[in-house]
Structure formats: C-alpha cells, structure tokens
C-alpha cells in the first residue's frame, strides 16, 4: 500500500499545481501575487478582484482537491476497500501541497484553506457545517479572515479525532493513527502558512476584512 500512498500524494500534488487564483488573475492581466497579501489563494483574490473572483477561485481550489480524491477512489477502491479513505486523504494532502508550494512558481502559492475545505467536504461532510459556522462567526465578529482560517484548521483536526474515536469515519482501527497524523499535517500546513498573520494578530496589526474594500486592487507592500 506504500506505493499507492505515494501515487495518490503525487496525483494530488499535480492537480494542486492548477493555480486557480493565479490563472484567474492572468485573465484580468495581473499577477495576483503582486497584490494584497501576495499569495495566490481565494482570500487574496477576493480582496483584490472582488467577490465573484474570490468565489470562483474558492470553488476551483476546493474542486481540484475533491477531484484528486475522486481519482484516488477510482484507482484503488476495488483493491483496498475501506482503506481507500486513507488513500483519498493522501490525495487531498497532495493537492494542498501542490497548491501551497507549486514548483513552477518558486513554491509560492496559496495558503490551502479552500483546498482543505474541499477535502473536508469530500472526506467527511458532517465536519463542514461546524467549520463553516465557526469561520462565519469569527470573521463577522472580528473581521479577521486569517483568524477564522486558523481556527477552522484547528476545529477540523479536533472533529477528525472525535469522529474517528466514535468510529464514524469508516476507517479501520489500525489506520486511525495514520489518519490523525495526516489530519494534523493539514492543520499544521494552515498554521504554518499563516505564521505571519499570527504574528500580526498577536501584535494587533493584522488587516481587517471589509466587503467595501473587496476588489480594491492594492499593490503588495
């Protein structure tokens, strides 16, 4: 199964290289990484190009992760049975890695939040409502998208462990530890990619999100 794990990770990484935000920006004749926060994800696209662009990029980033997991299922579900869910996790993780660290863009991609959202929806949908509600409430009350994203990453991992221990994930007991390790890696990727935001949150200098500023096309400082 080790070769299958690696193959799923590679398939996910290749699909993750499809940089929706960067490509959308090119249709508007800009490099999205030169604006706002400087990353190629959905949030920066929303800030720079507006709600329609942000939604399109979010759907594209979430969709490529879900597609990678579907491909893993098509390739291996007959061979590995209930072990396929673990392989789907590897494909989803690969997609996040490809999105965050695209080799052809000098490893300068997005932050993986939309990709992780796609993973959650494909892997175990009951986790999604709590994550979504938490994100909406945090952003609504604090105006910090970064804080909402960070807490969603932590919330996802906590739910993964809870549902896993309750036996709801459909994963064999002997594979649960590996599922938790991969889940922790998803969370740590979000935290790591938001390390600068965490510093600004702690110092009180983080930028707040405002709908009327969406599409402001501010050059990266």
Arithmetic mean of pLDDT, 18-31 = 92
> Contact at 8 Å (CB) between 23 and 17?
no
Map out the domains of the chain as residue ranges.
2-213
For residue 142, give the nearest of 206, 197, 194, 193 by alpha carbon. 206
Q: Percent of the chain having pLDDT more than 90?
A: 78
Arithmetic mean of pLDDT, 191-217 = 84
Whether the pLDDT of residue 142 is over 70: the answer is: yes
User: 59-89: buried (b, 16+ CB within 10 Å) or exposed (e) per residue?
Assistant: ebbbbbbbbbbebbbebbeeebeebbbbbbb
Whether the pLDDT of residue 213 is over 70: the answer is: no
Arithmetic mean of pLDDT, 60-67 = 98
What pLDDT, on the 0 to 100 scale, is given for residue 80?
Answer: 87
Q: Pick the residue with more confidence: 126 or 213?
A: 126
**Distance between CA 40 and CA 108 in Å, rounded?**
8
Question: Residue 23 — pLDDT band, cuts 50, 70, 90?
Answer: very high
Question: Residue 39 — pLDDT band, cuts 50, 70, 90?
Answer: confident
Among 59-63, 96-100, 203-207, where is mean pLDDT lowest? 203-207
**Distance between CA 53 and CA 62 in Å, rounded?**
14
Tens digit of pLDDT for each residue in 64-83?
A: 999 999 999 999 998 988 78
What pLDDT, on the 0 to 100 scale, is given for residue 133?
Answer: 98
pTM: 0.92
**Distance between CA 214 and CA 50 in Å, rounded?**
5
């Amino acid at each position: 199964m080790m070769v299958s794990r690696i193959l799923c990770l590679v398939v996910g990484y290749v699909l993750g290289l499809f940089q929706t935000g960067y490509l959308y920006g090119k249709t508007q004749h800009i490099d999205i990484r030169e604006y706002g926060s400087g990353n190629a994800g959905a949030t920066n696209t929303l800030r720079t190009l507006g709600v329609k662009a942000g939604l399109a990029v979010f759907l594209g980033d979430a969709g490529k992760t879900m597609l990678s997991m579907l491909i893993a299922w098509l390739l291996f579900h007959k061979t590995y049975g209930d072990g396929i869910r673990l392989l789907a996790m590897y494909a989803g993780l690969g997609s996040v890695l490809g999105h965050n660290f695209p080799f052809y863009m000098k490893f300068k991609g997005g932050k993986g939040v939309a990709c992780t959202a796609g993973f959650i929806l494909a892997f175990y949908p009951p986790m999604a409502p709590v994550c979504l509600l938490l994100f909406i409430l945090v952003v609504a009350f604090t105006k910090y998208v970064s804080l909402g994203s960070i807490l969603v990453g932590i919330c996802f991992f906590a739910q993964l462990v809870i549902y896993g221990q309750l036996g709801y994930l459909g994963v064999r007991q002997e594979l649960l530890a590996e599922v938790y390790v991969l889940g922790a890696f998803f969370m740590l990727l979000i935290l790591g990619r938001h390390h600068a935001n965490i510093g600004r949150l702690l110092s009180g200098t983080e930028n707040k999100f405002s709908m009327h500023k969406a599409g402001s096309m501010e050059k990266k400082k």
